[in-house]
Amino acid sequence: MSFYYPQVYQEFLDARFTLPSLPGDHPDWHKGRRHYYCWAISVDSDDICRRWQQAQQHYAGYLRPDYHRQLHLTVAVCGFWQPQDLTSAHNDDFTPAMLQRQLERLQQAEIAPFHLDVGGVNSFASAPFLEIGDDHNLLGGLRELLLLNGDDFRSSIYCPHITLGLYRDRFESSVVGADFSVAIDTMPLKLAVSSLDLLSYEASAPAAPLKLEQRVWLS
């Protein structure tokens, strides 16, 4: 098998079983905060959408039926939106002042439109996805601009991807991943990137649709 991120596939196999995503609210995570924000690249290419639909249909038996996210590639997560700066802030709060700093950095950088490659299927323990090829580390440059504190609360390497859905139960990883390389065409498809979107979703419904808050066009 050939992957952009073979170590992610190996970690998926090493886990032995998928990690089911449980429906419902998660108040211990959002602590009463309503909206979670992230910077992402929206995907509207017909070819990529067809590949995504084919892959999702192929693995539908493993996935939750209530995943309604628009196709997107997360570049950097921001945190929970707080309209005001709070004295007792959590480390994953996201404020207007932080957003303004991000926008200023993007404007000063004058990033030109670029292309990425979309490949075949790979998987985290919690979700299968289409891989993204970024030979020139263009997403890494964007992340340096957007991550004001140097990270985005992740415990593993950043792996750009387009999520197919969330696993609905505990399945054997080796069974799920046995045909990743042959289930769909893996010939790279070009994803043209001309803008960066600030998206949000209801924190009490992590599989709910995304809302466009702001769009930054690349110059």
- The number of folded domains in the chain is 1
Exposed e or buried b per residue across 149-180, where buried means at least 16 C-beta atoms within 10 angstroms of its C-beta: eeebeeeeebbbbbbbbbbbeebebeebbeeb
The CATH number of the domain holding residue 166 is 3.90.1140.10
pLDDT in tens, 42-76: 999 999 999 999 999 999 999 999 888 899 999 99
* 10 assigned to some structural domain: yes
- 24 in a domain, yes or no? no
pLDDT for residue 155 = 66
Token pair for residue 75? 């570049």
Domain that holds residue 180: 6-16+35-217
**Which residues, given as ranges, of the chain have pLDDT below 50?**
none
Is residue 28 situated within a structural domain?
no
CA distance 98 to 13: 38
Average pLDDT of the chain is 90
Q: Is residue 1 part of a domain?
A: no
- In this prediction the pTM is 0.92
| 29 occurs within a structural domain | no
Separation between Cα atoms, residue 191 and residue 61, nearest integer Å: 28
Residue 148: partners with Cβ closer than 8 Å, 6 or more residues away = 98, 101, 102
Residues paired with residue 77 on neighbouring β-strands, in sequence order: 38
Report if residue 30 sits inside a domain: no
